[in-house]
């Protein structure tokens, strides 16, 4: 996937639908699915501090929350976190390969 230019990213605000201005390669199904899972999780989330049903979230508000969470992830990512996730991913790949062969 090609990185988006800063001008393409400026179209994304917390109240707008993000539409890239550059052509994109075909979407990654796994990423699409996890973003759909995140949307569903937010739409149904409930704990002592937040209840989505009680908040009567609009689609734009859900979108804004998803964007805020992704931006937070971008701002807080670091090498230790990435290396941990990479190790976890590689271990999952190894274990699924072993399951298929053994």
- Please check whether residue 37 lies inside any domain of the structure: yes
Count Cβ atoms within 10 A of the Cβ of residue 34 and give its class: 0-12 exposed, 13-18 middle, 19 or more buried: exposed
> pLDDT per position in the chain (102 positions), as tens?
444 444 444 444 444 455 555 555 555 888 999 999 999 999 999 999 999 999 999 999 999 999 999 999 999 999 999 999 999 999 998 888 777 776
pTM for this one? 0.64
**For residue range 58-82, what is the model confidence (pLDDT) as tens digits?**
999 999 999 999 999 999 999 999 9
Q: Three-state secondary structure along 76-91?
A: HCCHHHHHHHHHHHHH
Residue 1 lies in a domain: no
Tell me how many domains the chain contains.
1
Domain hosting residue 66, numbered range: 6-101
Instruction: Give the separation between CA 12 and CA 49, rounded to whole angstroms.
Output: 27
Question: Would you say residue 52 lies in a domain?
Answer: yes
Q: Is residue 90 part of a domain?
A: yes
């Amino acid at each position: 996937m090609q990185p988006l230019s800063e001008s393409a990213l400026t179209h994304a605000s917390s109240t707008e639908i993000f539409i890239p201005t550059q052509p994109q390669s075909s979407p990654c199904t796994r990423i699409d699915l996890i973003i759909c899972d995140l949307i569903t999780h937010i739409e149904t989330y409930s704990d002592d501090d937040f209840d989505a049903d009680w908040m009567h979230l609009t689609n734009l508000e859900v979108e804004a929350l998803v964007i805020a969470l992704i931006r937070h992830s971008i701002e807080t990512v670091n090498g230790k976190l990435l290396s941990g996730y990479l190790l976890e991913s590689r271990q999952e790949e190894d274990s699924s390969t072993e399951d298929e062969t053994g």
